[in-house]
């Protein structure tokens, strides 16, 4: 998985195309990511107690991993991620500018 929690990503397809957000959760088993404030949908919620009213709530929905790209911190563009060894550590780097992410 090249995208991790707390990465800044940009959505490449769909209704939120071009918008950027922070990754809240990564589901590596199903290769999906949850991005803060993006890919929202409305959910109808039942009243919790008698006398309360039901409401419509907006919730972020998981997005397929292939539809998001990491935004490089230095060049501020969506980029692919590469891996290289620095000493005995494996690090991610930006394929556009070469800066370590």
Question: Is 87 within the bounds of a domain?
Answer: no
User: Does residue 31 form part of some domain?
Assistant: yes
The structural domain count of the chain equals 1
Euclidean distance between CA atoms 86 and 51, whole angstroms: 62
Q: 89 exposed, middle or buried (CB, 10 Å; 0-12, 13-18, 19+)?
A: exposed
Task: Quickly tell me which residue has 């991610």 as its tokens.
Answer: 92
C-alpha 46/C-alpha 56 separation (Å) is: 9
pLDDT for 33 equals: 96
Residue 41 lies in a domain: yes
86 is written with which tokens?
């620095």
Q: pLDDT tens across 2-41, in order?
A: 999 999 999 999 999 999 999 999 999 999 999 999 999 9
For residue 82, is it within any domain?
A: no
Q: What are phi and psi of 67, to 5 degrees?
A: -95, 5
Which residue range forms the structural domain that includes residue 57? 8-72
């Amino acid at each position: 998985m090249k995208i991790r929690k707390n990465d800044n990503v940009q959505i490449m397809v769909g209704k939120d195309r071009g918008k950027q957000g922070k990754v809240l959760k990564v589901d590596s088993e199903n290769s999906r990511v949850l991005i803060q404030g993006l890919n929202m949908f409305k959910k109808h919620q039942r009243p919790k107690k008698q006398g309360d009213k039901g409401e419509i709530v907006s919730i972020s929905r998981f997005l397929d991993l292939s539809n998001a790209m990491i935004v490089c911190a230095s060049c501020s563009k969506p980029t692919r991620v590469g891996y290289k060894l620095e000493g005995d550590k494996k690090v991610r780097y930006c394929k556009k500018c070469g800066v370590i992410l």
